[in-house]
Amino acid sequence: MTRTAIVTGGSRGIGAAISVALRDAGYKVAANYAGNDEAAARFKDETGIPVYKWSVADYDACVAGIAQVEADLGPVDVVVNNAGITRDAMFHKMTPQQWREVIDTNLNGVFNMTHPLWSGMRDRKFGRVITISSINGQKGQAGQANYSAAKAGDLGITKALAQEGARAGITVNAICPGYIATEMVKAIDEKVLNERIIPQIPVGRLGEPEEIARIVVFLASDEAGFITGSTISANGGQFFV
Ligand code: CAA
């Protein structure tokens, strides 16, 4: 049986590595993206993975986008809530808009994607909800009150849904990556990254997107059926819960 997966933010960064890893593991994969048409077209050309454009911050757009994916590929068994943005600023400079944009995508996006899929997963008695949270949702990060709050919220919804989904064969787990070599992290001021952040990572390097993708493939598998409500950290030893 070939299972179907949606990866949000699935055409760039960690999401692109997850889309490819799931495809290589035998899944039919739909890579959702919100804005960067050029990167999405390149990703589709390079991988053959179909891309679908909508914003996870918009519930109705998620409902419509999921319906399209299901019409094309079949019922969705696995959702990887990976889409995320940063609007970093020290709190005294953070605008309400910076707060809202991050909460809308990084936290509300998890509701908006998981809620429309939940009933189908319950009916079919199988589902995998895998949400990419962050080390900064675990430990908090100066300059990221919005992002830290959203990512901590992702851990809360994961633990609540794990309890609701367990008897219906749905597992719900979160992964907390540390600092991974993607455009998001490379956008941090070089001095801040090299002088403040990398020295705090015991393994002495940024993580690779594939190091997160391998965890997703494991959590999506039948073999991971007893793991639910968990938070798996992959941060090079930077923070222990
Ligand atoms: N703790 C306490 N105070 C800090 C601090 C910290 N970690 N970092 C900075 N400050 C202080 C500074 O010392 C400075 O204080 P003074 O004015 O008294 O000297 C003040 O805050 C302002 O610092 P900056 O000059 O850095 O302020 P800025 O406005 O130029 O930049 C910022 C602010 C954009 C938030 C910048 O500090 C920054 O980029 N920080 C990194 C934030 C970060 O880690 N983002 C992660 C992005 S990647 C990601 O999110 C993926 C993931 O999941 C891990």
Domains of the chain: 4-233 (3.40.50.720)
pLDDT confidence of residue 111: 99
* Residue ID of nearest Cα to ligand 1 atom 44: 141
Backbone φ and ψ of 54, nearest 5°: -165, 160
Q: Is 147 a catalytic residue?
A: yes
* Residue ID of nearest Cα to ligand 1 atom 8: 142
pLDDT confidence of residue 1: 82
Residues in the chain with pLDDT values less than 50: none
pLDDT confidence of residue 132: 98
Q: Is the CB of 188 under 6 A from ligand 1?
A: yes
pTM for the model stands at 0.96
pLDDT confidence of residue 14: 98
Q: Is the CB of 185 under 6 A from ligand 1?
A: yes
Best mutation site among 101, 192, 208, 233 for ligand 1, i.e. most ligand atoms within 8 A of its Cβ?
A: 192
Which tokens in the block code for residue 184?
Answer: 């998001």
Give the position, in ligand 1's atom list, of the atom nearest the Cα of 141.
44
* Residue ID of nearest Cα to ligand 1 atom 21: 90
| Gap between the Cα atoms of 158 and 202, Å rounded | 28
Separation of CA 57 and ligand 1 centre (Å):
26
Separation of CA 156 and ligand 1 centre (Å):
26
Torsion of CA 150, 152, 158, 164, to 10 degrees: -90
Q: Is the CB of 182 under 6 A from ligand 1?
A: no
| Gap between the Cα atoms of 51 and 37, Å rounded | 10
Contact present, 32 and 9 (Cβ < 8 Å) = yes
pLDDT confidence of residue 56: 98
pLDDT confidence of residue 241: 87
Q: Is the CB of 136 under 6 A from ligand 1?
A: yes
* Residue ID of nearest Cα to ligand 1 atom 47: 185
Contact present, 100 and 67 (Cβ < 8 Å) = no
Q: Active-site residue among 27, 33, 147, 179? A: 147
Which tokens in the block code for residue 212?
Answer: 């997160």
Q: Please state, as a whole number, how many other Cβ atoms lie within 10 Å of the Cβ of residue 195.
A: 10
